[in-house]
């Protein structure tokens, strides 16, 4: 591929929150994940210091919690203060000790330096319960629940800015699922009460690309919402854990902006395109494995529904397929920076997360290195890029159908902090290197280097005692006279120019 970067034409500026993350009370994400009292690697408050350091390295900007499906039967008041009441989590069918609640979550966010983003219970919860939560977190001294917080040792407000009303309440699998009409009414009353407590908060509500659902939601609440929430997992393997291979995952990149285009059109038609942004607040290539739970016939024995969840943490599943797909998704968010203001990789720790924990340490999976690369090396201004001769490759999807996808995914950016140009260049080809030719309109860089995430094979992975995938950077070198840059097969790259 050959392309031209117009350094004089800025298309927009991405919000750093598109590199956000998500954590839920599912399997080992919280307990035994980020929160592990008694482990020698944990600090005095029970947080895994190695996990915190890894999260700081990728500058997690925002962390969504506590769910996820978990939140739709979660009552936050039982998980604050000295006396915690364990409860049976009906979403995931386990007992949660409630040791990790709002106070611990805010402490986690402060330790890693990110914005908290609380998702509220719109399943079995009420508008009043949601607004009480805002009171607990954000008011200075007024009200019963503010006084709870102060009595619990937190005199100053937490200042939680971002709040979501519900999680996937459109889905039959969700506890407290709602019709479109019920949803519009509940969100309206919840938003009203929550903003009566703190008018400065920003609100989102569960949405999807279904026209009836979104029209009803936005007609009722468009003037009270700042965001709408979209979720997407491309490989839905809840019952089988039969994950897509490298080629099949490339087929998933064929229409990454399809849902965004639908939402963009709807917001524009309703005159809300300048007011409401999209929070892609759960996304991952691979859905979570949890058989016999979100089904009519439930598993009875632990080996039918509980212990299989351990298979989410088979590290060999997370290969360069995950890295390449994730980079393409993040490129899509960057290109749509006028619409997408937040995205939350689901989850950050364990399950399908980019960080895997074990008793003695952590494993950084392939996706972690993509976040490291994009957060620390890519730019924040999106520049105009024109591809002269984009090539496509044909791949087979999971159903055996032939799908044509762009072979390279290229995004041009500028880092405003130092005026450096940085080009994300993803080579999806599993076996062949490709050359990217770049010309510049309005810039004349002298040197370049390539920062690359890759492993020896498309199916390479990291595990305990095994590090096949890493981020590496070349030395700075003169810009080649022919403007040609070699991209390794199945690689994620950022080419920097100065």
Q: What is the pTM of this model?
A: 0.97
* CATH code, 196: 3.20.20.80
Q: 18 and 31: one domain?
A: yes
User: Of 122, 143, 275, nearest to 185 (Cα)?
Assistant: 122
Q: 274 and 407: one domain?
A: no
Q: Per-residue confidence at 211, pLDDT binned at 50, 70, 90?
A: confident
Range of the domain at 437: 2-9+380-497
In the block, residue with structure tokens 């569960």: 206
* 3-class DSSP state of 471: strand
Q: 175 and 98: one domain?
A: yes
The Cα 287–Cα 352 span in angstroms is 8
The Cα 447–Cα 456 span in angstroms is 27
Q: 21 and 76: one domain?
A: yes
Q: 268 and 232: one domain?
A: yes
Q: Give per-residue pLDDT as tens, 294-338.
A: 999 999 999 999 999 999 999 999 999 999 999 999 999 999 999
The Cα 472–Cα 107 span in angstroms is 33
Q: 41 and 173: one domain?
A: yes
Domain endpoint, select from 339, 357, 377: 377
Tally the domains of the chain.
Answer: 2
The Cα 34–Cα 348 span in angstroms is 9
Domain endpoint, select from 343, 377, 411: 377
Q: 272 and 341: one domain?
A: yes
Question: Alpha carbon 296 to chain centroid distance?
Answer: 29
Q: 386 and 364: one domain?
A: no
| Percentage with pLDDT > 90 across the chain | 98
Q: 250 and 335: one domain?
A: yes
Domain endpoint, select from 325, 345, 377: 377
Q: 361 and 439: one domain?
A: no
Q: Give per-residue pLDDT as tens, 120-162.
A: 999 999 999 999 999 999 999 999 999 999 999 999 999 999 9
484 burial via Cβ count (<10 Å: 0-12, 13-18, 19+): exposed
Q: 329 and 425: one domain?
A: no
* CATH code, 435: 2.60.40.1180
Question: For 75-92, what is the mean pLDDT?
Answer: 96
Q: 134 and 225: one domain?
A: yes
**Total length of the chain:** 498
Q: Give per-residue pLDDT as tens, 238-269.
A: 999 999 999 999 999 999 999 999 999 999 99
Asked whether the beta carbons of 488 and 457 are under 8 A apart, the reply is: no
């Amino acid at each position: 591929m050959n392309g031209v970067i117009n350094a004089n034409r800025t298309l927009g500026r991405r919000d750093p929150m598109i590199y956000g993350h998500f954590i839920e009370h599912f399997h080992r994400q919280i307990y035994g994940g980020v929160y592990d009292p008694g482990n020698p690697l944990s600090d005095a408050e029970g947080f895994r210091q190695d996990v915190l350091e890894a999260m700081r390295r990728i500058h997690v900007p925002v962390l969504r919690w506590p769910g996820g499906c978990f939140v739709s039967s979660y009552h936050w008041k039982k998980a604050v203060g000295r006396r915690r009441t364990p409860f049976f989590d009906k979403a995931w069918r386990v007992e949660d000790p409630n040791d990790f609640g709002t106070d611990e979550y805010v402490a986690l966010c402060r330790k890693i330096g990110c914005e908290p983003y609380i998702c509220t219970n719109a399943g079995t919860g009420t508008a009043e319960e949601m607004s009480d939560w805002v009171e607990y977190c954000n008011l200075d001294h007024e009200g019963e629940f503010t006084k709870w917080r102060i009595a619990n040792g937190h005199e100053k407000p937490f200042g939680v800015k971002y709040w979501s009303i519900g999680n996937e309440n459109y889905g039959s699998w969700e506890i407290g699922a709602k019709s479109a009409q019920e949803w519009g009414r509940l969100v309206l009353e919840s938003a009203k009460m929550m903003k009566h407590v703190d008018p400065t908060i920003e609100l989102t509500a569960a949405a999807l690309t279904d026209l009836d659902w979104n029209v009803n939601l936005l007609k009722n609440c468009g003037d009270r919402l700042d965001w709408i929430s979209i979720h997407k997992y491309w490989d839905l393997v809840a019952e089988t854990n039969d994950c897509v291979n490298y080629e099949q995952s490339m087929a998933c990149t064929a229409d990454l902006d399809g849902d965004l285009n639908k939402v963009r059109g709807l917001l524009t038609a309703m005159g809300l395109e300048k007011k409401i942004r999209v929070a892609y607040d759960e996304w991952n290539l691979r859905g979570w494995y949890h058989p016999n739970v979100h089904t009519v016939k439930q598993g009875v024995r632990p080996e039918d529904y509980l212990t299989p969840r351990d298979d989410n943490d088979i590290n060999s599943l997370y290969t360069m397929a995950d890295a390449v797909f994730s980079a393409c998704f993040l490129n899509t968010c960057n290109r749509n920076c006028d619409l997408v203001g937040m995205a939350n990789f689901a989850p950050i720790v364990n399950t399908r997360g980019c960080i895997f924990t074990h008793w003695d340490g952590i494993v950084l999976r392939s996706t972690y290195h993509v976040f490291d690369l994009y957060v620390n090396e890519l730019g924040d201004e999106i520049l105009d890029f024109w591809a002269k001769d984009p090539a496509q490759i044909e791949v087979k999807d999971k159903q055996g159908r032939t799908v044509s996808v762009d072979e390279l995914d290229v995004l041009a950016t500028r880092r405003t902090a130092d005026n450096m140009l940085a080009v994300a260049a993803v080579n999806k080809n599993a076996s062949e290197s490709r050359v990217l030719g770049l010309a510049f309109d309005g810039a004349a860089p002298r040197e370049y280097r390539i920062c690359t995430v890759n492993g020896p094979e498309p199916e390479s992975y990291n595990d305990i005692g095994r590090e096949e995938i890493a981020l590496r950077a070349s030395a700075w070198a003169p810009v080649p006279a022919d403007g040609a840059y070699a991209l390794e097969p199945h690689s994620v790259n950022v080419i920097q120019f100065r």
